[in-house]
Amino acid sequence: MKITTNNNTVNLLSKAKQSKAKQSKAKQSHNLLIIHYYIKYFKNLFLYLVKSFLISLFNYFNVVKIIIFNCEVNND
């Protein structure tokens, strides 16, 4: 009777360890997924900021070019 109890106890402990390992692996996988989405979000945010900066820079130089062109035309 004791042997059966010990085997049952060992089996339960083994199953508990396996379950805990599976939960740990699932949590690790979930954390990696969250990190992946944060990286994707910040990459998109960075690209948006760079694009906005380049567009504003382009518009600034177009305005400066127009002002200079108008000054040259008005001087004639």
Is the pTM higher than 0.75?
no
Rounded CA separation 16/8 (Å): 12
Say if residue 4's pLDDT is above 60. no
pLDDT for the residue numbered 41: 95
Q: Select the more confidently predicted residue: 3 or 67.
A: 67
Alpha carbon distance 16, 36 (integer Å): 30
- Per DSSP, 55 falls in state H
| The predicted structure's pLDDT at residue 12 | 72
3 state SS for 16-42: HHHHHHHHHHHHHHHHHHHHHHHHHHH
pLDDT digits (tens, 9 = 90+) for 11-60: 777 777 888 878 888 888 888 889 999 999 999 999 999 999 999 999 88
